[in-house]
A and B are shown apart, each in its own frame.
Chain A
């Protein structure tokens, strides 16, 4: 098998290219279909790990502090992410509760755990145990992690309910926002660079 490590394939039209070293603010485009092949990766392993740890901390905030609290004439209620999953599970669409739990709690958690695991070893320029499985799972989990969807939903709820009830965004909502942005940044497609950097 020829050494293909230095080649890159366009996701959209399957053209094969040589990898190029990119400087700041640069990106590589496919000549045939114009899709983005590579972006400049501004994060080294250490930064990525640091942000992963930060994201893990915010995951904890997002799950243990109420996302929002509403009150109406003395009636008071506040909910964390987990409360919302439980609320769904008692309703007629229990199945959706499972999907919600996976997409807003479990998938991000797995992503973060796997990232931290892999990056810790990468920091020492080593492949972690079960490196291949971890990397594949990271790829698999990406579409399942829908924190930004949840965030948007929560924001819409806050704005829509604000007219009817007194709605207070909680610490959880802020943590959720930061977490979703961080996950987009650290668990993006560019983690596949690890395949190259780690022999």
Chain B
């Protein structure tokens, strides 16, 4: 109300109108929303962007910038952004942009390789890359450390994607015909494969990594032995010929078999990455554990043709070692060439005998002195080494340790290293010696004299025979002729048509008739005995017997 109006009637005043300096229309929401969408897209893109890594390959074959994908289980986890030649021009560096979820692929032991169509011993792989182009395969690692630089593999790793199973490390002297992908057999069933191989750091041995798929990995136990089944195992040894194969594929690409010895009490499944020895063949693999080796030396005074390094050493027929060296020596005092044979024996291979012996003799296997003492006792009891012929066909020799209680006593040098075990000549050697003695005896016989005497006797005999021939035999011939004549005349006398024979026949007839008339007479007389006195009555025919 304004009291100072002249009329005294109040009138409404004019409110001050103030224009807003900048009137902002609601339409600006539209560009703001557009910008927000844009920002969200960019942020989303940045958030979804995984790490960028560099992988070095030998060649850039099949790699294309912005096109080649990186795949894991056939899902794209990244893309190659650039492919550059390295500075030294020896390799190709592919820069890969991974997606966010692929963080695990930056672990240091992640693997990258170019997946191409491949034809190998284990089959054909990567056919689909013929159509889609090569891609980079990836396998996430387990390591804690991360890395930005990787070295690409030339061939895809045989085991990928965290397959269930276990890896084991095998150590061997040489690779043989094994390779990556060679199968691993358990009771002739393929259960795994060789994953990688390489020399050990010192270069003296080969290290193989094998993968056994679950659930068969449980059969790899602490006591399991691995052996090589590559190719054909043909053995010609002291124990004869031996041929063994695992499967056709193992013959071609090599293979490994494993098995625990039949008697393995309290066996546990082996841990991942456990180290095993890879044996050359099944026989050595399944042999009892060798235990501590003992080197011994043997001195033989005879030739050992047929004994080879690696020949078995037997104790009472049980194989428990092998020959490791054969050297010729010169004995200064006797001026002969003895053969020094080095052998390695594994007492533990004797099994129960060894454990019992240790217990009874209270012997510590690590104490060398006591071991020597034990050998000393054995030698005193007649322990001798002998090179025996194991196979007459191949002439191979082996070393046999045996007790010969009748053997000559030999002084045992307990201080000598390596320990020496006295020897006795080999069985074949003994046989040879006996044969030689026989030959010598035969040689000693006066064969010349005997022969001369015999010769003379033969001459005498010849003379005698000549006499018989010239003088005695003609007489005999005359006699024989006379005899022939006599026989001839006898013959003619007895012939059918000879007169003598006729006469005899007639005589016989006469005799016949005479005997008949005599019978008639006697008949008549028996009926008419009175006729002897009275003569023949009248009317009585001589023929009628009627009274």
Contact = CB atoms under 8 A, between A and B. Distances in A.
Interface of A: 44, 46-47, 50-51, 53-54, 57-58, 60-61, 65, 73-77, 171
Nearest to B79: A76
Contacts of A61: 38, 41
A76 B25 CA distance: 45
Interface in B379-393: none
B533 interface: no
**Residue from B24, B31, B69 having most chain A Cβ neighbours under 10 A:** B31
B43 to A, nearest CB: 14
> Secondary structure of the B side of the interface?
helix
22 contacts: A46-B23, A46-B24, A46-B27, A50-B25, A50-B27, A50-B28, A51-B30, A53-B31, A53-B34, A53-B35, A54-B30, A54-B33, A57-B34, A57-B35, A57-B37, A61-B38, A61-B41, A65-B41, A73-B131, A75-B132, A76-B67, A171-B41
Interface in B11-37: 23-25, 27-28, 30-31, 33-35, 37
Interface in B114-140: 128, 131-133
Contacts of A53: 31, 34-35
Contacts of A65: 41
Interface residues of B, number: 19
Contact of B31 (A57, A74, A76, A77): A57
Contacts of B34: 53-54, 57-58
B25 A46 contact: yes
B30 A44 contact: no
Given A44-B25, A46-B25, A54 B38 contact: no
B25 A47 contact: yes
Given A44-B25, A61-B41, A73 B132 contact: yes
Given A60-B38, A61-B38, 9 more contacts: A46-B24, A46-B27, A50-B30, A51-B27, A54-B33, A73-B128, A75-B131, A76-B69, A171-B41
A77 B34 CA distance: 27
A77 B79 CA distance: 12
Contacts of A76: 67, 69
Contacts of B41: 61, 65, 171
Contacts of B24: 46
B319 to A, nearest CB: 60
B188 to A, nearest CB: 39
A8 B27 CA distance: 30
Contacts of A47: 25, 27
Q: When A and B form their complex, which 7 residue pairs have the shortest distance between CB atoms, in order from nearest?
A: A74-B132, A53-B31, A47-B27, A54-B31, A57-B34, A54-B34, A50-B27
A27 to B, nearest CB: 22
Nearest to A53: B31
Nearest to B30: A54
A47 B28 CA distance: 7
Contacts of B33: 54
Interface of B: 23-25, 27-28, 30-31, 33-35, 37-38, 41, 67, 69, 128, 131-133
Contacts of B37: 57
Nearest to B23: A46
Given A47-B25, A60-B38, A171-B41, A75 B133 contact: yes
A102 B299 CA distance: 102
Contacts of A74: 128, 131-133
Nearest to A61: B38
A77 B33 CA distance: 30
Contacts of A46: 23-25, 27-28
Contacts of A58: 34
A74 B126 CA distance: 13
A111 to B, nearest CB: 16
Nearest to A77: B67
B64 to A, nearest CB: 11
Contacts of B35: 53, 57
A141 B128 CA distance: 50
Contacts of B25: 44, 46-47, 50
Nearest to A178: B34
A185 to B, nearest CB: 11
Nearest to B129: A74
Contacts of A73: 128, 131-132
A72 to B, nearest CB: 9
Nearest to B28: A50
A46 B25 CA distance: 7
Contacts of A44: 25
Contacts of B128: 73-74
A1 to B, nearest CB: 35
A47 B31 CA distance: 10
Nearest to A76: B69
B75 to A, nearest CB: 12
Contacts of B132: 73-75
Contacts of A50: 25, 27-28, 30-31
A77 B128 CA distance: 17
B486 to A, nearest CB: 129
A36 B28 CA distance: 30
A136 B41 CA distance: 36
B264 to A, nearest CB: 50
B21 to A, nearest CB: 11
A121 to B, nearest CB: 15
A61 B41 CA distance: 9
B72 to A, nearest CB: 15
A13 B97 CA distance: 62
Nearest to B33: A54
B211 to A, nearest CB: 28
Contacts of A77: 67
Nearest to B128: A74
A61 B33 CA distance: 13
A178 B425 CA distance: 107
Nearest to A71: B132
**Residue from A73, A74, A76 having most chain B Cβ neighbours under 10 A:** A74
A158 B37 CA distance: 24
Contacts of B30: 50-51, 54
A84 to B, nearest CB: 15
A74 B74 CA distance: 10
Given A73-B132, A74-B131, A75-B132, A57 B38 contact: yes
